[in-house]
Amino acid sequence: MDGTKTDKGPVCVLWCDSGSCPLHSEIQGTVKVTDYLGNVETKSASLVVLTRSPVFVESP
């Protein structure tokens, strides 16, 4: 992520303190997930599993 502001919507920084957790049910549809190393995946929000490593989650 280059820090450039876009009109795509909010970017959430998410992680799970207790092993692994699903995304909150308010986050639905297709999301873009970027890990702390810069690896990017686009997938269904229902398939995202949070861990102790933070990820950036945004609309693609």
pLDDT, one tens digit per residue, over 6-51 is: 566 889 999 999 989 999 889 999 999 999 999 999 999 999 999 9
Residue pair 57/14 in contact by the 8 Å Cβ criterion: yes
Give the global pTM.
Answer: 0.80
Task: Tell me the residue range of the domain where 39 lies.
Answer: 11-58
CA triple 11-16-21, angle to 5 deg: 100
Structural domain includes residue 15: yes
Number of domains in the chain: 1
> pLDDT-based confidence at 2, cuts 50/70/90?
low
Instruction: Determine the Cα–Cα distance for residues 4 and 52; give it in Å rounded to an integer.
Output: 26
Nearest to 22 by CA among 2, 38, 45: 45
The residue behind tokens 């303190």 is 17
Report whether 49 contacts 19 (CB < 8 A): no
